Structure 1
Amino acid sequence: MTDFYDRAQEREQRIRDEALARQAAASRAQGPSLTHCDDCGDEIPPLRREKVPGCTRCVPCQSAREQLRR
C-alpha cells in the first residue's frame, strides 16, 4: 500500500528525471560534426564524427575543456 510520502517521492523523482533529460537534450550539439577541431585545427577522426553528432573539438581539446569546467 502506498501512502502520501511514497507518491510524493515518486512524483519528485519523475520531475527530476524529466528535467535532467531536457537538460541533456538541450546541451547536445546539433547539426553535422566538423572535420577539423575548432581549438587546435587537427582533424577529427571520421569515426568520432559519426558517433558524436555535432562535435566541434578533437578528444584532447574536449577533455581539456571539460577539465577546466570542473
Structure 2
Amino acid sequence: MATGWAGDGAVQDQIDATVNDAVQRARQQLHKGPGLMRCEECDVPIPAARRKAVPGVRLCVACQEAHDEESRGAGLYNRRGSKDSQLR
C-alpha cells in the first residue's frame, strides 16, 4: 500500500533491506577459526563449554556483555526511509 513516490511493494522492500543489512552486519562480527583459551581483553580463562558453544570466541562472558552494551546504540534507526515517510 505504497503512495506518492514509492512504488508497489516499496514498504516490504525497505523491511527486507533493513533485515538483510542487520544479518550481514551480524555475520561480519562473527569470528572464525578456533576460539581463544583466554580472554583477549582481561586475560581470564574462557571455559571449554563457552569455546565449544561459540566458535571463534575471543572474549569472556563479562567482556562480551560490556562489548554488546557499547554496540547496542548502533543500528537502531532505519537509514532507508522512503521519501514519503520523510515528508510526514
For the aligned pair, the TM-score class normalised by the smaller chain equals 0.7 to 0.9
Which residue number corresponds to residue 41 of structure 1? 43
Which residue number corresponds to residue 10 of structure 1? 12
Change beyond 3 A, Cα 1:30–1:12: same
Change beyond 3 A, Cα 1:42–1:24: same
TM-score, reference length from structure 2: 0.63
Kindly state the Cα deviation for residue 65 of structure 1 after the two structures are TM-superposed: 3.5
Unaligned runs of 5+ in 2: 3-7, 74-88
Unaligned runs of 5+ in 1: none
**Larger RCO, structures 1/2 (Cα 8 Å, 6+ apart):** 2
Question: Cα deviation per residue 1:21-51 (whole Å; 9 max; x = unaligned)?
Answer: 1111111111111011112222100110011
Root-mean-square deviation over aligned CA pairs: 1.8
- Identity over aligned pairs, percent: 30
TM-score, reference length from structure 1: 0.76
SS of the residue corresponding to residue 55 of structure 2 reads coil
SS of the residue corresponding to residue 35 of structure 1 reads coil
Superposed, 1:1-70 pairs within 5 Å as 3=1, 5=2, 7-67=9-69, 69=70
Kindly state the Cα deviation for residue 16 of structure 1 after the two structures are TM-superposed: 1.1
